[in-house]
Chains A and B, each alone.
Chain A
Amino acid sequence: MVELAGTIKVISKLLRDFLVAEEYAYREGFLQGVDQKVKLMAILLLIVLAVSTQNIFFLLLLFLFSLTMVLLSKVSLRMYLPRFGFIPIFALIIVLPWIFLMPGQPALTFIGLNVTKPGIMYVITFTLRVTACVSCVSLLLFTTRVSDLLHTLKSLKIPSPLVDMFGLVYRYLFTFLSELERMLLGRECRVVSDQGLLKNWRDGGNVVGNFLSRTFYRSENVYKAMRARGYDGSFKTYPRNDKIGKKSIVFMALVGIMVGIWLVTRL
């Protein structure tokens, strides 16, 4: 039991830490001061650029650009990198076989298989592209409050039920995770011996069942608390920055330069 519980706890903690990136959204950094719409559109543009290039230099540059923005936004790289690092690593593992599968000129031979040059190029570009994209998206998540994001999405005419659904799921997620952790903590305090595997799995089933009924009960109460404060099915939020200020203009200019470089690499 202890092991299973331990695993769930680690996952839940990771998720929660990821979600809590929100704390950074309140710092008085560079991107936090950029208008939400400008930021959203610019970052989407950067992602489009990343997806539509084969140029390793550009992808590297884009990644460095995003790291610079992170630093300017008063988020430390030590906090930033581990949060999304697992995604590019995962991507690398998935595309790695292509170093053999891609037809082309062999670069070297490895246990009887040919590693091709196009294969290597493909794997590097793919991983770099994923890294750059994920980094740009994280940039957005780290410097924007979720409620601002919802507000912006709505003002961009994304269908409101969709946005509200996202808002609801996002809020419930916290409740679920905290409930899960609390329950496991409660168990841990009482479980003393390390039981056999069978008992372990049976307990696992109990935990899941118990968890579901508890979260159901909790979510009902959370819903009550929402209604108590006037929630009527659609989240309303206060927008934060209404004016397009200096920071927004500087950011647009920087993104403009990136677009310029992208164009040059296309020539």
Chain B
Amino acid sequence: MARDKVIEAKNLKYRYPDGTVGIEKVDFELWSGEKVAIIGPNGSGKSTLLEILGGLIEPTEGYVKFFGKESIDKYELRRRVGIMLQNPDDVLFNPTVREDLEFGPAQLQMEKEEFNKILEGISQLLDLKLYLNKPPFRLSKGEKQKAALGSVLALKPEVLLLDEPFSAVDIGAKQSMIKYLNRLNEDGVTIVVTAHDLTTVPLLADRVYLLNKRLIAEGSTRDTLTNAELLKNNGLEVPPLVELGLRLGINLVPLTVDEAVRRLRERFCL
């Protein structure tokens, strides 16, 4: 089966009302079923790009096309593309976490029974049961992030756009979120995440866009993350494992710990 193009954007530019250029000269393509990361240092325009891709802001120049259509109905877009903004305080605007989870489904008039099933699953997965009736502002940053993710997952979108979803959650939650997102992807959900910390990128993305106001590079996760020069020149930290691999001169530099262990075993016959 030929893959469908989910998002196509050309020559994007976004200028904020105060004149700041968020991004310029960015091309972006997303195919159904992909896992893509948008990386770049602080202020490189990751959030700006993601909000354009989510149809929340209109580019000043260039265009975005969703699902190959010339124009798309707002309602359809919202049902099919879920976007989680970077600051969970913005996402969680309801009096209780439960209402935040049900906000999206209620707006899109999902059946109550269906939502209840989803709610059960999400609160189980993200460990939200204890917080459901709490006001979001009483949660810690990491708990807020989980709740914010939950509120987007509740919509069961085909495409998930997540803006730095793991920046505050603890390691356990991060691992289970990553596992879950990968499982969703196997079920056909297309995923885009942004990150300035590159450690999670290999675990969650096959393809990477490197942004620094402009689009600097696009390629496979391996090619991009093992290009130490490129990363350093654009204000990103070379992942320690990559650095280690490069210095040791291991061919096929490892990106994850699992991979590193395998390579080192092979090489040193451990």
Interface residues of A, count at CB 8 A: 31
- A23: which of B54, B74, B133 is its contact (CB, 8 Å)? B133
Q: Pick from B100-108, B192-200, B252-260 the stretch touching chain A.
A: B100-108
Total B residues in contact with A, Cβ cutoff 8 Å: 38
| Residue B90, interface by CB 8 Å | yes
> Given A145-B99, A147-B99, A237-B106, are A230 and B93 neighbors across the interface (CB < 8 Å)?
no
Residue numbers in B under 8 Å from A146 (CB-CB): 95
B115 touches A238 (CB 8 A): yes
Closest Cβ of chain B: how far from A25's Cβ, in Å? 9
Residues of B within 8 A of A221 (CB): 85, 87, 90
* CB–CB A231/B107 < 8 A: yes
B134 touches A222 (CB 8 A): no
B84 partner residues in chain A, CB cutoff 8 A: 228
Beta-carbon contact of A225 and B90 below 8 Å: yes
Which of A38-46, A56-64, A73-81, A171-179 interfaces with chain B? A171-179
A226 within 8 A of B: yes
Q: A20 contacts which of B74, B75, B104, B135 (Cβ < 8 Å)?
A: B135
Q: In this complex, what residue of B is CB-closest to A17?
A: B135
Q: Which single residue of chain B is at the shortest CB-CB distance from A240?
A: B112
B112 near A229 (CB under 8 angstroms)?
A: no
**8 smallest beta-carbon distances between A and B, as pairs:** A229-B104, A230-B107, A221-B90, A22-B95, A230-B78, A26-B133, A230-B108, A225-B91
Extra inter-chain contacts (13) besides given A23-B96, A224-B85, A229-B82, CB under 8 Å: A22-B135, A26-B98, A145-B96, A174-B95, A175-B90, A175-B93, A218-B89, A228-B54, A228-B82, A229-B155, A230-B107, A236-B106, A236-B107
Residues of A within 8 A of B (CB): 16, 19-20, 22-23, 26, 145-147, 170-172, 174-175, 178, 218, 221-222, 224-232, 235-238
Could you list which residues of chain B lie within 8 angstroms of chain A, going by C-beta atoms? Answer: 51, 54, 56-57, 74-75, 78-79, 82-85, 87, 89-91, 93-96, 98-99, 102-104, 106-109, 112, 115, 133-135, 137, 151-152, 155
